[in-house]
Structure 1
Amino acid sequence: MPGRFFLTGPVFGITDPPRRNIAPGQEVIVRVSDEVRHMRWGMIPVGRVNARGRPVMETIVNARSETVFDKSAFADVGRAIVPANGWYEWTGEKRRKQPWRITRKDGGMLYFAAIFDVWNGPGGILVHQVATITCAPSADVRDIHHRMGVILTADQIDIWLGEDDDAASDLMRPLPDGTLIVEKADDVDWDSP
């Protein structure tokens, strides 16, 4: 949906060391408009408060496509792209879960639609943060998870990052069936990035 993903090669002109286990809270490569930068994966929604009027500090890693632009927690966020070679999902019972690796069948890059903003933390700290957007799964992913990331093709990136909200909303759907491959991921060291 994604809960963890991996990026093993250069993208958008940035060459980071290969990362096979990127988890929420870590820095990821993000494209916003014509700029590429690192941001923290996981958002503390700006201006979100609980019933007592206190700021909500819960981190949101993924936002639902059906409601992302309707919720006050995401008011005034920008749109971004998070590139990856693939992501992981798990099935099964606690302590016995099977990890699965999801990639494009053609080996191409995945471009997750995302939202971003800047959180003003205590002491004046500014945290650039991003959350990926999810949608209903394609048939490729449906057997292992009830959600998947909104994945864009390279020619849809400029539409997503553009000014036309309706055109961007039209992109929030699963990839066509047969685009992705799902395979067991028993070879990943989950304790290292």
Structure 2
Amino acid sequence: MSNNRRPTIKTVAARAGVGRTTVSRVVNGSDLVSADARARVLAAIKELNYVPNSVARGLVTNRTNAVALVIPESESRLGSEPFFAALIRGVSGALAESRTQLQLMLVRDQAERDQLTESVATRRVDGVLLVSVHAEDRLPGMLEEMGLPTVLAGRRDAGEQLSYVNSDNAGGATEAVRHLLGSGRKRIATITGP
């Protein structure tokens, strides 16, 4: 085989002495393959350095292996607040373990909202993590109506319908003060942003 061509599922099947369906089943983790055939396919994949075509796999599995991190904020706020950089690093690190691609989407105006809507409607992402949502934002409701798995980082009010992950700010502050008092501090202050 030429070094210029990537091996295909057909190449792997020929090397392993099995059909393309068997290779596909092994790649997709199906149990409908004998141990012997699985071992031959895995050996052929390793030998050929075969990498499955993610577009073809997506057609079979109906998944993109991509999650959108949607932040409805300006670039200046995104760049000036360390919270966003830490959040992006954390989400990216967690997704890397599952081989899921992170798509960062800023939604600052109607054109970008339309782009997000198109991505969701055409299922270019498997889910959305929505960050920094303001009380009047219609984006969470829109995503819920479209049926895309969506999780909010924080919640707008106690009646939030979408799944969310929320920080316990009051509990964290209480623990911090307890720690400071326990270490002998007498005068404790807090500095907050606007």
Q: TM-score, normalised by structure 1?
A: 0.21
Looking at secondary structure, tell me which structure has more helix per residue.
2
Looking at secondary structure, tell me which structure has more strand per residue.
1
The higher relative CO (CA closer than 8 Å, separation ≥ 6) is in: 1
Q: TM-score, normalised by structure 2?
A: 0.21
